[in-house]
Structure 1
Amino acid sequence: MSSSKRQACVVCAWRETCAKKFCVTDGGARCPDFSRDVSIKVPDEESDEIQ
């Protein structure tokens, strides 16, 4: 799995209001509420992997 698709609380759109981020044991890797924050740009080297 490429790192651009990896879930993480730090890039989630809900990170400011999330009530689960401190109780999810895998750090949010399989959170059903995860939604990537589109305001966070993907670094160029990750963009190259997508193409």
Structure 2
Amino acid sequence: MGEPKPTCSICAWRATCNKKYSIADPSKCLDYARDLTIEIKTEGKEEQNEDKDRDRN
């Protein structure tokens, strides 16, 4: 799947941003940086984690 679509809700600067939710396309925001503390699961990773859990049991 890849990198999630840039949005204000997962931006590292969302707490102090003055442009928050005022830009129509956040992917064009020059200040956007994905917040690495937010774990974003992709479909492929979820399936792999489920397989690992089944193998443990």
Inter-partner Cα distance in structure 2 for 1:45 and 1:22? 27
Which structure is higher in helix share? 2
Q: Which moved more, 1:31-40 or 1:2-11?
A: 2-11
Aligned to 1:20: 19
Q: How much has 1:47 moved relative to structure 2?
A: 4.6
- Greater Rg, structure 1 or structure 2? 2
Could you list the runs of 5+ residues in structure 1 that have no partner in the other structure? Answer: none
If the length of structure 2 is used for normalisation, what is the TM-score? 0.61
**Structure 2 residue 43 is matched with structure 1 residue 45:** yes
Percent identity over the alignment?
Answer: 35
Aligned to 2:5: 6
Higher relative contact order, chain-length normalized (CA < 8 Å, sep 6+):
1
Aligned residues: 46
If the length of structure 1 is used for normalisation, what is the TM-score? 0.67
RMSD: 2.3
2:12–2:33 CA contact under 8 A, matched in 1 = yes
